[in-house]
Structure 1
Amino acid sequence: MADAVFPAWRKSSFSDGGSEDQSNCVEVAVTSAAVGVRDSKSPATPALTFTPASWSRFLTNLR
């Protein structure tokens, strides 16, 4: 989805974890209708999109 749909991208909190290569980051943008996930090295490529419910289940399963 375009940046117009996801206006505020945030980098993963792990991006500041002391790694020497900070270019390998995941960015996430959240709206009431969707969650977008993209590679920070390639912001122009299409983002993966999730419904808020499926994103929540994904994060729960990661924990």
Structure 2
Amino acid sequence: MNLTEIENAAPDVLAPVLLAAMQRLGQLGRDGAVALARILDDGDADFDEAAGWIADIAEGGVRE
């Protein structure tokens, strides 16, 4: 998937890409977190919303 396709990607297409990217950032540890933080705009409401959902998923709280 190209970055230009992300804006119009359906959830079932985007989710595996996000999972793979998050797993890779996890493998990179702090370096991965720092790289993400470096490009994140402070107060990004969309990121905050997504981070909240990801936290819920990590706790097992989101299922079909």
TM bracket (short chain): under 0.3
Relative to the length of structure 2, the TM-score reads 0.25
**Structure showing the higher strand proportion among its residues:** 1
**Structure showing the higher helix proportion among its residues:** 2
Return the structure number with greater relative CO, CA threshold 8 A, min gap 6.
1
Relative to the length of structure 1, the TM-score reads 0.26
